[in-house]
Amino acid sequence: MNEFMQAFGPSQILGLEQIICALLASFVLSIALASVYRWTYQGLSYSRSFVHTLVLASIVTAILIMAIGNNLARGLGILGTLAIVRFRTPIRDPRDIIFLFACLAIGIACGASVFHIAIIGTLFFCLVAVYLHRSPFASLRVYEGLLHFTLPSGSDGTLDKLQKDLLLYCSSIVLVAMRESSQGEAIEYSYQIRLTDPTYQAELLETVVKTEAVTDANLLMHRATVEI
């Protein structure tokens, strides 16, 4: 009976110093986490508001945890209230979701006054994030691209010679598209290529351009940070 009354009774009353310490800790630790996120960000659509969200989410979570305290009924009520709220902002990068979740974890730890877990957890998370940013771990080091050029119809000999020249710079070449142009007088070719070395881009394109009868040659290299 006593345990039941403790769970559904008044929540633990925190002192002013405890509240301020929890809020300051969540703020400082989330600032550190947001700084690491900004430093290690490699995408193209950087959002300043998302960085602000990381810090504010940690503080809000700390406030919620302090408000709930050890009161089970209040926790269920807040959980039901949050379930009504619909957040429709799309987050495309899973890495952004993890950073946001980490800030929520910081807020929970600070709100529960387990500061040693919050500090050690934040430091470890930041160190791992920096390590993954600086190390080649999970990097797919292949230099793929799309080569496009146009040849007059009936230039099979020139095409065979060009393919042999491409193999000097590429580990593989695959024809992915071919269509007629200029009312059938020319054919446009698109090859997916994989360079043996990234420094061969200029030499390969120069070789294609200098090939007899080749026109409209261009090379588009794949970038890991760009979604096409």
Q: Which residue has the tokens 């039941």?
A: 4
Tens of pLDDT, residue by residue over 200-212, are 888 888 888 888 8
Distance in angstroms (rounded) separating the CA atoms of residues 36 and 32 = 6
- Does position 7 have pLDDT exceeding 70, yes or no? no
SS3 43: coil
SS3 138: coil
Angle between helices 94-111 and 48-68 (to 10 degrees): 30
Q: What is the pLDDT of residue 226?
A: 46
Would you give the end-to-end CA distance of the chain in angstroms?
62
Q: DSSP characters for 46-58? A: --HHHHHHHHHHH
Give 176-183's long-range contacts (Cβ < 8 A, gap of 24+): 176/146, 180/153, 181/150
Residue 169 CB partners (closer than 8 Å, separation 6+) = 195, 196, 197, 200, 203, 204, 207
Contact by Cβ (8 Å): 187, 181: yes
Tens of pLDDT, residue by residue over 133-153, are 888 776 655 678 899 999 888
Residue 172: which of 210, 214, 142, 136 has the closest Cα? Answer: 142
Average pLDDT over the chain reads 82
The residue with greater pLDDT, 37 or 197, is 37
Domains of the chain: 2-134 (no CATH), 143-221 (3.30.70.1710)
Contact by Cβ (8 Å): 30, 58: yes
